[in-house]
Amino acid sequence: MLSARRRARAPWLDATAAAIALALFTLRAGSSGQLTGQGLAPFSRMIDGTAARPFVHRLLLPSLARGLHALLPGPLRDALPRATEVLALLLVLVCFLAFAFVLRRLLDACYAAPAGVRRWAPATALLALPALFLPSSVQLYDPATLLLTALGMLLILERRRPAYYAVFVLAGLNRETAILLTGLFLLWEGRQLTPWRLAQHALAQGMLWAGLQIAIRALHAGNPGHEAQLLFPHNLRLLITPRAAIPFWGLLALSLALVVPGWKRAPRFLRLAALVMLIPVALGTLLTGLPTEMRDYLEAYPALFLIALPTAVAWLTRERMVARAV
């Protein structure tokens, strides 16, 4: 007979949710032209390194897909049409599966939760992702952003510093927003480390991040596109345009309804993570991105989901989740 803890893991449930998330991700990529070579950053051009800046700078998952493709035997490469894109989508599935595992570890570290909540929470987080993907486009690096942010959070919480540095480098190769993990690291370790040791970690991570970004931008200096474009006046109009604004404000209202009631009771670590991940991304997106593209807030998703979870559980069941002292 399975133990209660093993039943709560429910790997088949995570795998099913990851497969559904992959299917919806692929459908959205197809409908937005990412699989048919359209736009500034279709998957094929992301993988071969010819996509427009700044998208091409997010090179971790595309580079892995290209490397795996090179390892395939020649006849198999020739027999499989669009093999690199298939491999990239398999990596997306791996990211979703690994995210479910990491999120359950974060849940266990932050809350004493009933077995049913532990069993369903990661699958629910995966199945809720279309709310971020479907109103906007998707990018090949989005699933890796989700996974590496959650994994970085877990390693910071557990103070596994060597492993955290390895994940930080991978996150830096995936997206420049990896530097937000440094902010969380410094705030969380501020009570544990001396000011001198904290400054050493800040300098080390800052130099790692800057070195990676300089090298990545030098590699793609000849690509079309630009690093950033001021879109603030356009975004102000966008936020009051009904077609774009209604889904955005609706999701924002639902998020607030779930997050606000549990904010004060949430573990300090999750509140720090939510603020560090959300505020800079929201400001940056308002200035240079598209604030109605909910996928731009993926870095904040793990923390906000876990803060909102006790409220959702209280609404739907009579179960209670108790925050741990972290």
Q: What pLDDT is stored for residue 1 in this prediction?
A: 38
In terms of Cα–Cα distance, which of 119, 124, 172 is closest to 148? 172
Tell me the residue type at 315: W
Q: How many DSSP H helices and E strands does the chain contain?
A: 16, 2
124 class by beta-carbon count within 10 Å (0-12 exposed, 13-18 middle, 19+ buried): middle
Rounded average pLDDT over 134-160: 93
Indicate the angle between helix axes 301-316 and 242-262, nearest 10 degrees: 70
pLDDT, residue 6, reads: 53
Q: In 10 A of CB 16, how many CB atoms?
A: 14
How many Å apart are CA 207 and CA 137, to the nearest integer?
A: 32
What string of DSSP letters covers 45-93?
HHHHT-SPBTGGG--HHHHHHHHHHHHS-HHHHHHSTTHHHHHHHHHHH
**Per-residue tokens: 218:** 């030098």
Q: What is the pLDDT of residue 2?
A: 44
d(C-alpha 310, C-alpha 259), whole Å: 9
Question: Is beta strand 322-323 parallel, antiparallel or unpaired with respect to 111-112?
Answer: antiparallel
What tokens were used for 6?
A: 């093993």
The whole-angstrom separation of Cα 69 and Cα 60 is 14
Using the CB atoms, write b or e for 228-242: b if 16+ within 10 Å.
eeebeeebeebeeee
Taking alpha carbons only, the member of 111, 158, 119, 118 closest to residue 267 is: 111
Provide the token pair at 294: 């909910």
Distance CA 40, CA 56 (A): 9
The model's confidence at residue 231, banded by pLDDT at 50, 70 and 90, is confident
Give pLDDT, residue 248.
87
| Measured distance CA(61)–CA(152) in Å, rounded | 17
Long-range pairs of 149-153 with CB within 8 A, sequence gap ≥ 24: 149/180, 149/181, 149/277, 149/298, 149/299, 149/301, 149/302, 150/99, 150/102, 150/103, 150/106, 150/302, 151/98, 151/102, 152/178, 152/181, 152/184, 153/106, 153/181, 153/184, 153/269, 153/273, 153/302, 153/303
Return the domain boundaries, the chain: 7-323
The larger pLDDT score, comparing residue 317 to residue 2, is at 317
CA distance 220 to 216: 7
- pLDDT, tens digit, for every residue of 14-33? 999 999 999 999 999 998 88
Average pLDDT over residues 49-62: 95
Write out pLDDT tens, residues 178-222. Answer: 999 999 999 999 989 999 999 999 999 999 999 999 999 999 999
* H-helix segments, 111-228: 115-127, 130-133, 142-157, 161-174, 179-189, 195-219
Burial of 316 (0-12, 13-18, 19+ CB in 10 A): exposed
Q: How confident is the model at residue 165 (pLDDT cuts 50, 70, 90)?
A: very high
- What confidence score (pLDDT) does residue 154 get? 98
Q: What is the pTM of this model?
A: 0.93
- Per-residue DSSP letter, 39: S
Q: What percent of the chain has pLDDT over 90?
A: 70
